[in-house]
Amino acid sequence: MKKYTTTIVCLLTYILNAQVNLVEVNENSKSGNYKDILTSFYQLAVKDFSGEEKSIGFNSTLFALKSKANPNLLKDVNYIEATFSRNFQFNFKIDLNKDLKYTGFTGGISYALINNRNETLANFRGTPLEAKYNDLSEFLGTVQATIGNQIALDATISDKKKEFELLQNAVDEILDYKSDLTSSKNPYVNKILKAIDPQIASKGYGETITNSSGLMAHLNELTQAYYKELQSKGLLTIATDGTSNESGKFNKASFSITYLKGNKEAWNEIDLRAKLIYADTLVTDHLPRTELNTKIGSNFKFGNDYKKQSYLEIKAVAEYNKIFNNVLSDEDDEVITANAEIRLRIADDLWIPLVIKYDIEKANFLGFLNVTYNFEGF
Amino acid sequence: MVNISVTVFGGLPPLPIKVIIDNLDNNHDIKFSRNNSFSEDYILPPGRYMIIISGMNPSGGKTEMHVHGDFSEGPLPTDEKTTEKTYYSQLFYGVISN
């Protein structure tokens, strides 16, 4: 126990104390369900908090650790080459009993064979977004140069640097998009708007896009729609892990496959999972057995504003468990349950997933309270 | 000689990075776009220049821009800028003398 704890504490200390300014990835549009399968950076999870067998786990991608040590990996030219490490996740967890005594250690890896959801690799070339952005960029560029030239030639302006800063701030303000730019205190905002709004109106984009505010609102809507659509793409992962008991003896291994695919608006996704488990469950006798666990579910997100994380997710799941050999006398070799997995977000990236299972044959309810915390660095 | 360097962090730029080197004294402007980070040198004749770099950041990413060279004035308002904004259009004004 001591050596595992020391290892985990050392690793966490290294991660948390690293002074590298890690680029934050916009995680907001991802579902908690998705983050449980493939985290972008780090995830701490407490599983079955109220049950007999608890665990405290840590997930991270290989890329998260490598980029801590070498921030150059975050450069686009290196980032695109790091497919393997971005899709390779490792995890470990400490298993505890109801009295919080150590009962074992689990270590595992997973790899995303199909991962079309990565927003950081989004490509909007050839879309209406690019065409409209190009227009805006051209209008703005021309006006920036014209006004910049006036500033440069204006002998009455003594502090040119400050004036260019003011002009740049005006451009930033317009591109940041605020619903009412006309109330801006920056005089260059109105000057730019007067120059580009007629050009935007003449483009004939539509009734709602007759000025820069309308165009920026439209560009933001398009951007959000494209990112949202990405979250509906397929994600296929395979994973394997091994578990040892409190004396360090290997007693369990599993191989699993998971597939997620959302609808276009990304408020719902199909969730398919299968897990083959080999376990030596008894302490007194050697009694190895093989089990299959399959789940078919549908996850619903609530509060689906792209810029905000969902506050609630509910997954309806049909679960089938089959024990192939060495079935104990007081258990069934086949169990079918209807599950509801409820994820409640109580703070940014802090989720409390509650799993409720209903044994269809025995009419029993079971509940499992979990806590997951996704984080990107400190 | 003027060096223009743009480095994108945290993903790929969803749209090309566009650069305009606008010679304010004539129409000999240079326009180009790049799909990824770049660092390129340009030999520019004496004159007043407005260099505008525009683009879109990857989701949650950032872009660093540097404009360095044989300027007698500028670049103004700064010779380097880092932005995390979704869309950006950064200007650099500078004068190259004989």
Which pLDDT score is estimated for B2? Answer: 94
Sign of the dihedral through C-alpha A283, A284, A286, A290: negative
Chain B residue whose CA is closest to A79: B11
Provide, as residue numbers in chain B, all residues whose Cβ is less than 8 Å from the Cβ of A121. 11-12, 58
CA distance A165 to A24: 27
Number of A to B CB contacts under 8 A, please give it.
Answer: 129
Strand partners, A358: A338, A365
DSSP helix, strand, coil percent of chain A (3-state; round to 5) = 35, 35, 30
Confidence bin at A159 (pLDDT 50/70/90): very high
Q: What is the pLDDT of residue A148?
A: 93
Residue at token pair 């990413």 = B61
Assess whether pLDDT exceeds 60 at residue A308.
no
User: Judging by DSSP bridges, how do beta strands B17-23 and A268-280 pair with one another?
Assistant: unpaired
- Within 10 A of A16 (CB to CB), how many other CB atoms are there? 11
Instruction: Determine the pLDDT at residue A17.
Output: 35
* Contact flag B11-A122 (C-beta cutoff 8 Å): yes
Helix, strand or coil, per DSSP, at residue A344: strand
pLDDT in tens, A194-204: 999 999 988 88
- Given pLDDT bands bounded at 50, 70 and 90, which one contains residue A94? confident
Distance CA A85, CA A297 (A): 28
d(CA A19, CA A22): 9
CATH superfamily of A2-116+234-375: monomeric porin ompg (2.40.160.40)
pLDDT the model gives residue A49: 59
What whole-number distance in Å separates Cα of residue A77 and Cα of residue B8? 8
Q: At what angle do helices A128-153 and A212-230 cross, to 10 degrees?
A: 140
Q: Which of A115, A137, A231 to mutate to test the interface with B (most CBs of B within 10 A)?
A: A137
When pLDDT is averaged across residues A76-81 and rounded to a whole number, the result is 95
Q: Is the pLDDT of residue B68 over 60?
A: yes
pLDDT attached to residue A369: 56
pLDDT of residue A249: 81
User: Would you place residue B94 in the very low, low, confident or very high pLDDT band (cuts 50, 70, 90)?
Assistant: very high
* pLDDT, tens digit (0-9, with 9 covering 90-100), for A241-279: 998 887 778 888 999 999 999 887 767 889 999 999 998
pLDDT at A232: 86
3-state secondary structure of B61: coil
How, if at all, do strands B73-76 and B87-96 pair? antiparallel
Contact of A157 with chain B, judged by CB distance below 8 Å, is answered with: no
Provide the H-helix boundaries in chain A. Answer: 2-17, 32-37, 62-69, 76-79, 83-87, 128-153, 160-176, 187-202, 212-230
B75 CB neighbours in chain A (<8 A) are none
Cis peptide before B77 (omega within 30 of 0): yes
Strand, coil or helix: A211: coil
Q: Does B47 touch chain A (CB under 8 A)?
A: no
Closest by alpha carbon to B50, among A140, A194, A173?
A140
Task: Grade residue A373 by pLDDT with cuts at 50, 70 and 90.
Answer: low
- Over the stretch A279-304, which tens digit does the pLDDT of each residue have? 886 656 678 889 999 999 998 888 65
Query: CA A338, CA A291: separation in Å to the nearest integer?
Result: 18
Q: Which residue has the higher pLDDT, B6 or A313?
A: B6
At A178, phi and psi to the nearest 5?
-125, 150
pLDDT band at residue A207 under the 50/70/90 scheme:
confident
8-state DSSP, A284 = S
Residue A358 has which token pair?
A: 């209903």
Collapsing DSSP to helix, strand or coil, A247 comes out as coil
Asked if B89's CB is within 8 angstroms of A227's CB, the reply is: no
* Strand boundaries in A246-377, DSSP class E: 250-262, 268-280, 288-302, 312-323, 334-347, 350-359, 364-369, 371-375
A67: exposed, middle or buried (Cβ count in 10 Å: 0-12, 13-18, 19+): buried
CA B53 to chain centre: 4
pLDDT category at A30 given cuts 50, 70, 90 is: low
Measure the CA–CA gap between A378 and A16, rounded to whole angstroms.
Answer: 6
CB atoms within 10 A of CB A116: 14
Instruction: State the pLDDT confidence band at A31, using cuts at 50, 70 and 90.
Output: low
- Mean pLDDT confidence for A307-327: 83
pLDDT at A151 over 90: yes
Domain of residue B27, residue span: 2-96
More confident residue, B33 or A101: B33
Question: Given the DSSP bridges, would you call strands A350-359 and A371-375 parallel, antiparallel or unpaired?
Answer: antiparallel
For residue A43, the model assigns a pLDDT of: 66
3-state class of A198 per DSSP? helix
| Of residues B20 and A312, more confidently modeled | B20
Which pLDDT belongs to residue A86?
92
Residue A176 gets the label, from left (phi > 0), alpha (psi -120 to 50) or beta, of alpha
Distance of CA B90 to the CA centre of its chain: 7
**Residue A12: its pLDDT value, please?**
43
Residue A9 has pLDDT above 50, yes or no: no
Closest chain A residue by Cα to residue B59: A120
Check: complex ipTM more than 0.85 = yes
Mean pLDDT computed over B77-87: 95
8 Å CB contact between B2 and B46: no
- The tally of domains found in chain B comes to 1
The C-alpha of A167 sits at a distance from chain B's nearest C-alpha, in angstroms, of 9
B8 to chain A: which residues are within 8 Å by CB? 75-76
The percent of residues above 70 in pLDDT, for chain A, comes to: 76
Q: What length is written for chain B? A: 98
Structure confidence at residue A181 as a pLDDT band (50, 70, 90): confident
Query: In whole angstroms, what is the distance from residue B48 CA to residue A164 CA?
Result: 14
Q: Three-state DSSP class for B27?
A: coil
Query: What is the residue-averaged pLDDT of chain A?
Result: 80
Average pLDDT over residues A342-367: 72
B38 touches chain A (CB under 8 A): no
Q: Report d(CA A238, CA B18) in Å as an integer.
A: 40
What are A24's two structure tokens?
């934050």
- φ, ψ at A123 (rounded to 5°): -130, 110
* Residue of A25, A77, A160 lying closest to B36 (CB–CB): A77
Q: How far apart are CA B89 and CA A30, in angstroms?
A: 29
pLDDT reported for residue A378: 31
Provide the residue ranges of all domains of chain A, joining segments of one domain with +. Answer: 2-116+234-375, 128-227
Q: Which helix (H) or strand (E) holds A363?
A: none
**Confidence at A349, pLDDT banded by 50, 70, 90:** low
